[in-house]
Amino acid sequence: MSWTVGLFALLTGLIAGGVFAFVGVPIPAPPELPGVLGIVGIFLGYQLVEYVDIGVDLLELLGI
């Protein structure tokens, strides 16, 4: 991922959050820091498992 894509994603998120607040509707994300940190933890856990290249093919395990 390039920094440009990350910055555009952040900018898009800021604009979308501002629009949600302006219109007065709740954001489609956890509204408090612990919820956001939980999402960051999910992302980091996924990246860690991908990095160490471990895992199981769940569909193959289920025979699908």
- The string of pLDDT tens digits covering residues 2-61 is 889 889 988 998 999 899 999 999 887 777 888 888 889 999 999 999 999 888 888 998
Residue ranges of alpha helices (H) inside the chain are 3-23, 33-52, 58-62
Q: Residue 12 sits in which domain range?
A: 3-62
Domain count of the fold of the chain: 1
Give the pLDDT score at 31: 75
Residue 1's pLDDT band (boundaries 50, 70, 90)? low
- The answer to whether 36 touches 29, Cβ cutoff 8 Å, is yes
Please state the pTM of the whole predicted model. 0.60
